[in-house]
C-alpha cells in the first residue's frame, strides 16, 4: 500500500470495507461510522467528480449539487493530480441504466 494514509488502522478500515458484501451491509456500516453530514459530503464529492468528468462547468455543478466552488475546485484538483481514486470509482461505478 503506497498511499498518503498508510497505517495499520486505515489499512484495517479499507480491508473491512472491501469485505462488505451488499449495499445493505455498506449502508449499515457507513451509517454507524459516519455522521449523516459526512455521508452527504462524501456523496456530494463523488457527484461533483462525476459531473466534472462529464464536462459540466462549476456554476452548473454548484447549482445542481449545492457544492461550493472551493469543494468543486478541490475535487477537480484530485481528479487531475490526485491518487486516481476518483477515476477508479467513476470507472467502476454502475452506469445509470444498471442502477436498480
DSSP 62-78: HHHH---HHHHHHHHHH
Which residues are within 8 A (CB) of 71 and not within 5 positions of it... i.e. 6 or more apart? Answer: 44, 45, 48
Q: Give how far Cα 69 sits from Cα of 26, 85, 90, Å.
A: 29, 21, 21
pTM for the whole structure? 0.84
Q: Is the pLDDT of residue 30 over 70?
A: yes
Separation CA 34–CA 8 (nearest Å): 20
Residue pointed to by grid coordinates 498518503: 4
What is residue 7's predicted lDDT score, i.e. its pLDDT?
Answer: 86
Q: Is the pLDDT of residue 11 over 70?
A: yes
Q: How confident is the model at residue 99 (pLDDT cuts 50, 70, 90)?
A: low
What is residue 90's predicted lDDT score, i.e. its pLDDT?
Answer: 95
Amino acid at each position: 500500500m503506497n498511499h498518503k494514509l498508510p497505517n495499520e488502522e486505515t489499512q484495517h478500515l479499507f480491508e473491512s470495507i472491501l469485505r462488505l458484501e451488499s449495499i445493505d451491509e455498506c449502508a449499515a456500516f457507513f451509517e454507524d461510522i459516519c455522521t449523516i453530514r459526512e455521508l452527504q459530503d462524501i456523496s456530494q464529492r463523488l457527484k461533483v467528480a462525476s459531473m466534472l468528468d462529464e464536462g459540466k462547468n462549476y456554476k452548473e455543478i454548484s447549482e445542481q449539487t449545492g457544492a461550493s466552488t472551493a469543494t468543486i475546485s478541490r475535487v477537480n484538483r484530485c481528479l487531475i493530480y490526485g491518487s486516481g481514486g476518483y477515476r477508479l470509482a467513476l470507472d467502476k461505478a454502475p452506469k445509470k441504466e444498471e442502477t436498480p
